[in-house]
Amino acid sequence: MPEVICLRPLEDFANAGVVPPRALSIRAMAPESRELAEAMRSAEALVMPAVGPALATELFAGSAIRLVQVTGAGVDRVDGAGLARLGIAVAGVPGSSALAVAEYVVATAVALLRFLPGSTAAIRAGDYENVRDRMIRCGLSQLAGLTVGVVGYGIIGQATARQCAALGANVILCDPAIDREDGVELGELLATADIVTLHVPLQDGTRGMIGAAEIGLMKPDAILVNAARGGIVDEAALAEALEAGQIGGAVVDVYSREPPAPENPLLNVNAAGARRLILTPHIAGVTRQAWASLFAEAWDNVSRVLLQGEPARNVTNGAAG
C-alpha cells in the first residue's frame, strides 16, 4: 500500500466532507516533527497546505517522495526547481478557490468603498450621528462605474474580473501572457484603476513588484487589494502610504511572514491609516465549498500518480515524478 505523509490535519478533510483514498496508507504529521525526514524515506507522496513554513530541499534528498501535492494554488513553500533536480513533481490545485477569492475581493473592496470598518464600534459607542455624517462626507461609493485593475489574469484573476464586471465595473488587465490589445502596462493600470487587485504568484519577477514608486502612481482614493501572496507588496511602503493618505485604502490577506510579526508595519499604522485598512489571516480562498473542491482534487491527483501510474496534473516545476 503506497505511503503518503500529510502535513495538514486529517480532520480538515473530514470537515469538508472529503474522504482520502482508502487504498493509501496516510500518516498525518506536523511539518516540524523530528520524525518527518525518516518517514519520507518510505513515503511516495507528501500532501501539504499552501500556507506554512518553507520546507528545505535537503529534507527531500534520499527520500522516496515522487510527488509533493499542495492543497491550494500557491506552491512557494518548496523550491520547485530544487525538487525537479531530485525528480520530484510539485503540483497545486489552481482553480478551486477562484470564486471564493473573487468574492473576497469584491466584498472587502466594497466594504472600504462604503467605509464600513469601524462603523459598528462607533454606533455601539453611541456615536451614531457623527459616524453617519463622517461616512457620508467621505463620499460613499459603489462598485458600478469604477475601474478595477486586475494584475495577473490566471484562473483567479479571470474569476475576479468576471465578478467585478457583473456588478458594473470597468475592468482593465495587466498580464504579460495576454495580448497587448487586451491588456495594459502595470504603470498605466495603477494610474487608471480605482481598485487594484493582485493575482500573481510569488516569484523572482513579482517579489516586491508593488513598492513605493508603484503606490505613488495610484489615485489618491484608490484601493489596493492583495489576496495573492505576501512579498509582492512592500509592506512598509504601503503602511506609509496609508498613514499619509496617499491612497484610499488597502485590503491585505497575505504577509511577507505568516503570521505577521508584531513589528510588521501594517500592524502599526496610525489611527488614520487603520480606518482605511482591512487585515485578514490568509482566508480569501477559504470557504467550505472551495476546500471541498480543492481537497478532492488534491487527493485525486495523488491517487492518479500512486495508484493508477498516471502523470500528475497541474505540475508546476516540470518534473515527471
Same domain for 127 and 260?
yes
Same domain for 68 and 137?
no
Question: pLDDT tens digits, residue range 35-73?
Answer: 999 999 999 999 999 988 999 999 999 999 999 999 998
Contacts made by residues 281-285, CB under 8 angstroms, sequence distance 24+: 281/253, 282/51, 282/253, 282/254, 282/255, 282/258, 283/104, 283/253, 284/97, 284/100, 284/101, 284/104, 284/105, 284/227, 284/253, 284/254, 285/72, 285/73, 285/97, 285/100, 285/101, 285/104, 285/156, 285/227
Cis peptide before 259 (omega within 30 of 0): yes
Residue pair 304/313 in contact (Cβ under 8 Å)? The answer is yes
At residue 162, the pLDDT reads 98
Question: pLDDT tens digits, residue range 302-317?
Answer: 999 999 999 999 999 9
Question: Per the domain annotation, does 320 fall within a domain?
Answer: no
CATH number of residue 211's parent domain: 3.40.50.720
Same domain for 152 and 245?
yes
Q: What are phi and psi of 174, to 5 degrees?
A: -135, 115
Same domain for 71 and 188?
no
List per-block mean pLDDT (blocks of 10 residues) for the chain, which spans 321 residues.
Answer: 97 96 97 95 97 94 97 93 97 94 99 95 96 94 98 96 98 89 93 98 93 98 97 98 98 96 98 95 96 97 98 94 73
Question: Per the domain annotation, does 195 fall within a domain?
Answer: yes
At residue 274, the pLDDT reads 95
Same domain for 169 and 266?
yes
Strand partners, 5: 27, 46
Same domain for 57 and 137?
no
Question: Per the domain annotation, does 315 fall within a domain?
Answer: no
C-alpha cell at 19: 474522504
Same domain for 202 and 296?
no
Question: Per the domain annotation, does 312 fall within a domain?
Answer: no
Question: Per the domain annotation, does 313 fall within a domain?
Answer: no
Cβ-proximal residues to 289 (8 Å cutoff; 6+ apart), any chain: 100
Range of the domain at 65: 3-96+288-306
- pTM of the predicted protein model: 0.90
Grouping H, G, I as helix, E, B as strand and the rest as coil, residue 18 is coil
Residue pair 91/69 in contact (Cβ under 8 Å)? The answer is yes
Same domain for 104 and 92?
no
Beta strands in 96-206, from DSSP E residues, in sequence order: 147-151, 170-174, 195-198
CB-count burial class (<10 Å; 0-12, 13-18, 19+) for 292: middle
Q: Which residues have a catalytic role annotated?
A: 229, 258, 282
Same domain for 142 and 39?
no
Same domain for 275 and 298?
no
Strand partners, 250: 224, 277
Same domain for 155 and 175?
yes
Same domain for 193 and 134?
yes
Question: Per the domain annotation, does 316 fall within a domain?
Answer: no
Q: In what order do the strands lie in the sheet with 67-70?
A: 25-28, 3-6, 45-48, 67-70, 89-91
Question: Per the domain annotation, does 254 fall within a domain?
Answer: yes
